[in-house]
Chain A
Amino acid sequence: MKLVIIDYGAGNIQSIKFAFERLGYQAVLSDNAVEIAAADKVIFPGVGAAASAMEKLKASKLHKLIPELTQPVLGICLGMQLMCTYSEEGNTQGLSIFDVPVKRFNEGQKVPQIGWNKIEQLRSPLFKEIDEGAYIYMVHSYYAPLCDQTIATSEYGLAYSAALQRDNFYGVQFHPEKSSVEGEIILKNFLAL
């Protein structure tokens, strides 16, 4: 299986690569459109600010490619947020793969949310063998509200999308590569899609 992690200069991709290595898979880091399009599975990571990440994506022309991919794609954290329509962070237009805008957490909650939270209402093969209420690691200031494409929820002052899916596109707000054993199961489930 050919697994590609999109390397566009916005993310802690080393940790994702290592997480797959622990599962016995060698991932290729690439910003090459041909190589990404030819992969069996694609990981779209992202850490940092939405606007600058989107600029980097555009600079490498990947903003056109990603929505056209037909193999399973997993957006992680900011990667997932960039797959939405729009982000309040830096007033950023997204890839509109998921039909939901990304908003900032309300006042009254500490921002960023940093730490282990529960995922609930799991409804996807991505969460096979994951218990309702399993703990995963979240680090974010912005969130995708609940919508038709929500496949897992979490709660931080309000209920929001911990994961989204549309067709072959999956997105998780949390960091499976940092979410202990549960995260590894979720990554393994993605590879089995």
Chain B
Amino acid sequence: MLTKRIIPCLDIKNGRTVKGVNFIDLKDAGDPVELAAAYAREGADELVFLDISATEERRKTLAELVLKVAEKVNIPFTVGGGIASVEDVDILLQNGADKISINSSAVKNPDLINKLADKFGSQCVVVAIDAKQIDGKWKVHLVGGKVPTEIDLFEWAAEVEERGAGEILFTSMDHDGTKEGFANEALAKLSTSLNIPIIASGGAGNMDHFADTFTKGLADAALAASVFHFKEIGIPELKSSLKTKGIPVRT
């Protein structure tokens, strides 16, 4: 049986991890490669690297980082942040990324999804969607959630599936950072109306939140950052807690 995935997300700036990390056994917690390897050893199912650099050299730095991660890490990883063209994706996949994630660039240029799916296969195309509720309606936001749009979350999600996305990474901005649980109602609606895997993001605060997003939100995977980085939740403990509740996980 296919298991539910636990995915730590590492924010990267100029080739370094930015959020504080509490891994006591690491020589350099700012080194994404060491941190990624540590998460792989702990039992993370996949990793996501989100590049938030804004420098001229960002593409080169990110491509170099991907090569180093691929060299050391024996689980799959996705790379996102500022990816806007087939050429960007080509170099990241060539360097060993398993999947890439696009967000604002997909909204601005939806054909990019089709092009990437045709050239590299749907399995490596993750479309990330940031959304929040405005007057009771889920609206897509761009540029890390800073720019609101009139686009409806569910309509956009259906369109990206149609265009060939292999997976959707849905972040609820209403839940992100609250540590009060994932947006399970919206997640369940996405999961039942679409036929591709949905990754839940935003709101993880305790182990029950993960269980809920799998049982109530019907998510296929759950992504979190700070609860893992600050060691508030250990991945082995989380996995055994989910297993006790009858949720299939890799242990």
Please determine whether chains A and B interact with each other in the same assembly. Answer: yes
Spell out A's residues near B (CB within 8 Å): 12, 14-15, 18-19, 21-22, 47-49, 107, 110-118, 135, 137-141, 155-156, 175, 177-181, 183-184
Tell me whether B123 and A116 are in contact (CB under 8 A).
no
Tell me whether A47 and B121 are in contact (CB under 8 A).
yes
Which chain B residues lie closer than 8 Å to A49 at the CB level? Answer: 118, 121
Subset of 18 A-B contacts with CB under 8 Å: A12-B98, A14-B95, A15-B70, A18-B71, A22-B74, A47-B121, A48-B120, A48-B121, A49-B118, A107-B195, A110-B195, A112-B166, A117-B2, A117-B3, A141-B123, A175-B76, A178-B76, A181-B74
Of B45, B96, B220, B250, the residue contacting A12 (CB under 8 A) is: B96
Of B40, B95, B122, the residue contacting A112 (CB under 8 A) is: B122
Tell me whether B2 and A113 are in contact (CB under 8 A).
yes
CB contacts under 8 Å to A, within B188-208, are 195-197
Tell me whether A115 and B74 are in contact (CB under 8 A).
no
Tell me whether B74 and A21 are in contact (CB under 8 A).
no
Which chain B residues lie closer than 8 Å to A180 at the CB level? Answer: 40, 74-75
- Interface size on B, as a range, is 35 or more
| New contact pairs (18) apart from A112-B166, A180-B40, CB-CB < 8 Å | A12-B93, A14-B67, A14-B70, A14-B96, A15-B70, A19-B74, A47-B123, A47-B124, A115-B2, A115-B3, A116-B5, A137-B75, A141-B122, A156-B2, A178-B98, A179-B74, A180-B74, A180-B75
Tell me whether B74 and A111 are in contact (CB under 8 A).
no
**Distance from B78 Cβ to chain A, minimum over Cβ atoms (Å):** 11
Q: State whether the Cβ of B83 lies closer than 8 Å to any Cβ in chain A.
A: no
Closest A residue to B199 using CB positions = A114
In angstroms, Cα B9 to Cα A139, docked, is 20
Q: State whether the Cβ of B94 lies closer than 8 Å to any Cβ in chain A.
A: yes
Which chain A residues lie closer than 8 Å to B220 at the CB level? Answer: 110, 114-115
Tell me whether B196 and A112 are in contact (CB under 8 A).
yes
**Distance from B208 Cβ to chain A, minimum over Cβ atoms (Å):** 22
In angstroms, Cα B122 to Cα A140, docked, is 9
Which chain B residues lie closer than 8 Å to A183 at the CB level? Answer: 74
Which chain B residues lie closer than 8 Å to A179 at the CB level? Answer: 74-75
State the majority secondary structure of interface residues on B.
loop
State the majority secondary structure of interface residues on A.
mixed
Tell me whether B5 and A115 are in contact (CB under 8 A).
yes
Which chain A residues lie closer than 8 Å to B5 at the CB level? Answer: 115-116
In angstroms, Cα B57 to Cα A117, docked, is 39
Tell me whether A15 and B96 are in contact (CB under 8 A).
yes
In angstroms, Cα B195 to Cα A139, docked, is 15
In angstroms, Cα B3 to Cα A155, docked, is 11
CB contacts under 8 Å to A, within B1-19, are 1-5
Which chain B residues lie closer than 8 Å to A112 at the CB level? Answer: 122-123, 166-167, 196-197
In angstroms, Cα B1 to Cα A140, docked, is 15
In angstroms, Cα B67 to Cα A135, docked, is 25
Q: State whether the Cβ of B221 lies closer than 8 Å to any Cβ in chain A.
A: yes
In angstroms, Cα B73 to Cα A177, docked, is 10
Which chain A residues lie closer than 8 Å to B46 at the CB level? Answer: 115
Which chain A residues lie closer than 8 Å to B94 at the CB level? Answer: 14
Which chain A residues lie closer than 8 Å to B45 at the CB level? Answer: 115-116
**Distance from B170 Cβ to chain A, minimum over Cβ atoms (Å):** 14
Given A114-B166, A114-B220, A118-B1: A21 touches B71 (CB 8 Å cut-off): yes
**Distance from A117 Cβ to chain B, minimum over Cβ atoms (Å):** 5
Which chain A residues lie closer than 8 Å to B122 at the CB level? Answer: 112, 141
